[in-house]
A and B are shown apart, each in its own frame.
Chain A
Amino acid sequence: MEHIIDIVLMAFMAVAAIVMIRLRSLFAVVMLSGIFSLLSASLFVVLDAVDVAFTEAAVGAGISTVLMLSTLALTFRDERPPRRRDPVPLVVVLVTGAALVYGTLDMPHFGDPDAPIHHHVAPRYIVDSPVEVGPPNMVTSVLASYRGYDTLGETTVIFTAGIGVMVLLAGSWRRRRRPASGRTPGGTETRS
């Protein structure tokens, strides 16, 4: 039963990805990428990774969609059609895809209990974290206590990204506003 759900979700994700490549309307592409994130969040729920699913639903399906929509407000709503067919990207994608598929051949099977990841530090966290750290949610113990340095680094990355975006956009916006005030609305104007 679980495998059927996995396959259906994966199939939907593949369809969404292909449609995203084909579409030229960026608004629809942004919406589809939100749907893609929601589908992968459902996949994480099926895999019992609720914390990851939670993050994916909040960040991938929620915030990213809104941020990309606001990016469209700053740029354009339609992708420019390609001038000519260039074979190089196709070759790059095919080679990379083939390399990735070749890489999965060596990987342990899906859900294999003998996989290396289940024999490194995971048993220690499962056995010792209720005694050493305490919280019933082991993910929190790992993230905030065992891996406290990593999480501090992640928070710093978010901080740096935020400052960078603020500096970039605040500067460019102030410069753009003056000449832009007399700009006439484009063809996408639908307000009545």
Chain B
Amino acid sequence: MRLYSVLRTSTKLLMPPIMLFALYVQFHGDYGPGGGFQAGVIFAVAFIVFTLIFGPVRARQVAPRWVTTPMCAVGVLLYAGVGLATLLMGGEYLNYNVLAHDPHHGQHLGILLVELGVGITVWAVMVSIFLAFVGHDGDDEEEDDDPASAWGCDEGTLIDAREDDRA
């Protein structure tokens, strides 16, 4: 992929702001539009852009399978765990009022954790689905510099899409 120097450089420039924006959407969702779902998608977009430019082999080095697959479950478990915590602390399931001394603080904490759970699951699922689609789960593949084989497909539409961009 050393041919596309403009694409590579702009991807490297774009990724940090995309991720920062995702975090902003995640943790500012109480005050403005946004929340866990959108933030997870945007955070995944950073990884997808990376995959489009650098290929799935290197993407799997950045987001290895042992991170993304468990993370799918971690988000749901965090969400359900907040519900269990409220049960144990004497409230109803997912009644955040009991999480702190002040009901408002409890609600705030509960919503923050729950949205974080949604964000983690959405991010992990989106990245996993995308990497599964491009057919490279990084199990049995060796590192390869040739873009076509790094993609694991000879006539990948995404490679053609990049060509279309360039033309």
Contacts and interface: CB of A to CB of B under 8 A. Distances in A.
| Chains A and B come from one and the same complex | yes
Given A67-B130, A145-B110, A161-B125, A72 B115 contact: no
Q: Give the interface size bracket for A toward B.
A: 35 or more
A166 interface: yes
Interface residues of B, number: 64
Nearest to A189: B155
A73 B37 contact: no
Contact of B132 (A151, A170, A189): A170
B55 interface: no
B94 A149 contact: yes
A130 B97 CA distance: 14
B58 interface: no
A71 B3 CA distance: 25
A173 B134 CA distance: 10
Contacts of B34: 51, 54
A164 B30 CA distance: 32
Q: Is the interface of A mostly helix, strand, loop or mixed?
A: helix
A166 B31 contact: no
Given A67-B129, A73-B156, A135-B111, A152 B38 contact: no
A154 B156 CA distance: 32
Contact of A77 (B33, B41, B75, B157): B157
A54 B133 contact: no
B75 A155 contact: yes
A76 to B, nearest CB: 10
A55 interface: yes
Interface string B152-164: 1111111111010
A58 B108 contact: no
Most buried by B among A70, A77, A136, A139: A70
Contacts of A133: 104, 107, 111
Contacts of A149: 93-94
Interface stretch (A16-24, A95-103, A180-188): A180-188
Q: Is the interface of B mostly helix, strand, loop or mixed?
A: helix
Contacts of B135: 73-74, 169, 173, 177
B126 interface: yes
Nearest to A49: B33
Contacts of A165: 128-129, 132-133
Interface in B85-135: 93-94, 96, 103-104, 107-108, 110-111, 114-115, 117-118, 121-122, 124-126, 128-130, 132-135
A171 B19 CA distance: 31
A159 B33 contact: no
Interface in A55-103: 55, 58-59, 62-63, 66-67, 69-74, 77
Contacts of B31: 135-137
A191 interface: yes
Closest 10 CB pairs of A and B: A162-B125, A135-B30, A70-B133, A148-B94, A169-B132, A50-B33, A73-B157, A72-B157, A144-B111, A58-B41
Interface of A: 27, 50-51, 53-55, 58-59, 62-63, 66-67, 69-74, 77, 132-137, 139-141, 143-145, 148-149, 151-152, 154-156, 158-159, 161-163, 165-166, 169-170, 173-174, 177, 183-186, 188-191
